Structure 1
Amino acid sequence: MAPSVLIIGASGNFGRPLVDEFIKNLSKFSKVGILTASSPLKFDEQKSRGIQVVAGSLLDPASYRGFDIVISLAGNSIMRLQPAMIEAAVIAGVTHFYPSEFGSDVGIEALREFRYFRDKRVTRDHLVATAKKNSDFKYTLLITGPFTEWAVDALYGVDKDTKTVNAIARYTVESTLLPLKPGQQKREIRVVGESTTFQGLVDALGEVEGVKYKSIYWLTKDALVEQEKAQRAEDEERVLYWSVRTLGASGNAVIGGPSDNDKFGFTPETARETFQRVYGKH
């Protein structure tokens, strides 16, 4: 039977291209839904294209009823709610959960104390505990490294507008159709485009645009001082901002180990190809 998928966070920067990719592949699923705690009217366009819109609480089992797979795209503001979301989903009969990973491997030792990923690590621990209690429960960690388009975002100090993340959306949709091995509950999927330095990304962007970006270097210790100031001020948004600013310079954003690219039906773009698609002249 074709799987059914419910998406949380469909209006975000990754949610929009992901929903579009599911719409392209609707015939492969029994249904695809969007869960929204706010007005469902903002998803009228997606509804007209075959997406089911569910209006309800992220913490109410009724919101998840009738779906096999849940894909969470929870952002910083609700990341800590994911364990409770998992509990509600399991009560409703969901058997497969994708937590909001889609980036660096938060499980490596070097990131154990990294503040920005704290709630993602807590979610991983909860998934492990849930799988031990429920033999039919499965979860997938989709580990991609930083999105190329977002690596040149103002968050990392690059003065540039960004757009979509098409390749990761394709990986996510195709992964829901990949069977797990009998008895397998945890699945890690590692997909990698191009590994390069942050300066290499900026240089590739400049080549595509025909401009030269000026690099101004911050010391990691200075960013950590700002993070500590924000912590003392109980400003969580700024704590996370300064925490993630140090990730690119640490080298810990790069995905190690063998990739699973060969499981998918397309070849990932290089950084230059991505910038050409998003920022190049058409």
Structure 2
Amino acid sequence: MVSKVAVAGATGNIGLPIVQQLVAAKFDVVVLSRSENPSGLPAGVTIRKVDYESIESLTAALQGVDAVVSAVGSAALAGQIKIIDAAVAAGVKRFLPSEFGNDTEHPAVRALPVFGPKIAVQEHLKKVAAESSLTYTFVVTAGFLDWGLQAGFLLGPLKERKAEIYDDGSQEFSATTIATIGRGIASVLQHLDETKNRTVYFHEAVVSQAKILSIAKELTPGETWAVTESKSAALKARADEKLAKGIFDAEVAVSLIKYSIFGPGFDPVLRKLDNELLGIKTISDDELRAIVKSAL
């Protein structure tokens, strides 16, 4: 049984909803933070200041913790190795690394360099789990539906009535709201045996760029939309050009992640779903419309 959960990256775009849902599920939440007073967190959480570069500091902070959920951003993915090693030293039962997006079990996804740090963390966790009492769960939820629309990642700057669609926009993909990602993580920690040492999959909807754009246009009658039609292959070519020069920057990362959603050969609709186990329901058309409306 898990009662005390530590969260790394707790104030980020995905970290905060995770903390909120863990609190709502009555877990005792410990926030690992470089700051003594991180802002925006719900009442009732415990703050433990840590040095993420120090296994000793992390081990001390993880004393008495049953599970660790990492929601660190891309720049800090490799640093999870130290958190994992500290979790082993502190006797933590379960570790959930920062995943929550693409299915990194898929060979085509694994081949993209942008996912290399996540895969390295997975392999380290598998090795550690074979040698210690620490267990793991990899959580795959595909695209972040509400955040992805609001940030312009999935379709473009919708508030400006602009959209960019790739390969006619018909490619379907799974998507999940960030609050539901948090609820799913809480449920994973309530189903330890069923989720032990494996990848867990859930989503709320199967959508496409074309479907979202159609809804957006229906919700903005009489307004003019500027729609750019692009090729997903251009995303890969743009990234490859920079990578050939030894450049790996945010543009490369974003291009490759978009390519893995909108490009061919990645099977972005999740099939092996754990929705029923975790109590995650898919959303209705009206709920999808409301999510799109909130981004307009």
Say yes or no: TM over 0.5. Answer: yes
Contact 1:69 1:96 in 2 (8 A): yes
Aligned residue among 126, 137, 141 for 1:140: 137
Give the Cα–Cα distance (whole angstroms) in 2 for the partners of residues 168 and 44 of structure 1. 19
Give the Cα–Cα distance (whole angstroms) in 2 for the partners of residues 114 and 105 of structure 1. 12
Structure 2 gap segments, 5+ residues each:
160-176
Letter of the 2:130 partner, please give it. Answer: K
Looking at secondary structure, tell me which structure has more strand per residue.
2
In the superposition, relative to structure 1, how do residues 266 and 110 fare at CA in structure 2: closer, same or farther (>3 Å)?
A: closer
Give the Cα–Cα distance (whole angstroms) in 2 for the partners of residues 173 and 126 of structure 1. 23
Equivalent residue number for residue 261 of structure 2? 248
Equivalent residue number for residue 198 of structure 1? 209
Cα RMSD between the aligned structures? 2.6
Give the Cα–Cα distance (whole angstroms) in 1 for the partners of residues 142 and 182 of structure 2. 14
Equivalent residue number for residue 170 of structure 2? none
Equivalent residue number for residue 21 of structure 1? 21
Equivalent residue number for residue 234 of structure 1? 247
Residue 96 of structure 1 deviates from its aligned partner by: 0.5
SS of corresponding position for 2:7: strand
Equivalent residue number for residue 119 of structure 1? 117
Give the Cα–Cα distance (whole angstroms) in 1 for the partners of residues 252 and 101 of structure 2. 19
SS of corresponding position for 1:87: helix
When structure 1 is superposed on structure 2, of 264-273 and 16-25 the one drifting more is 264-273
Encode CA deviations 1:154-203: one digit per residue, 9 max, x unaligned. Answer: 23451037xx722211111122111315xx84132211222232222232
Equivalent residue number for residue 257 of structure 1? 271
Q: Percent identity?
A: 21
Give the Cα–Cα distance (whole angstroms) in 2 for the partners of residues 257 and 280 of structure 1. 28
Equivalent residue number for residue 180 of structure 2? 167
TM-score, scaled relative to structure 1: 0.84
The answer as to 2:246 corresponding to 1:268 is: no
Give the Cα–Cα distance (whole angstroms) in 2 for the partners of residues 44 and 246 of structure 1. 33
Equivalent residue number for residue 41 of structure 1? 37
Give the Cα–Cα distance (whole angstroms) in 1 for the partners of residues 283 and 224 of structure 2. 22
Residue 53 of structure 1 deviates from its aligned partner by: 0.6
The answer as to 2:9 corresponding to 1:9 is: yes
Aligned length: 270
In the superposition, relative to structure 1, how do residues 126 and 156 fare at CA in structure 2: closer, same or farther (>3 Å)?
A: same
Give the Cα–Cα distance (whole angstroms) in 2 for the partners of residues 15 and 238 of structure 1. 23
Structure 1 gap segments, 5+ residues each:
none
Equivalent residue number for residue 102 of structure 1? 100
Give the Cα–Cα distance (whole angstroms) in 2 for the partners of residues 151 and 91 of structure 1. 37
Equivalent residue number for residue 220 of structure 1? 232
Give the Cα–Cα distance (whole angstroms) in 2 for the partners of residues 123 and 197 of structure 1. 30
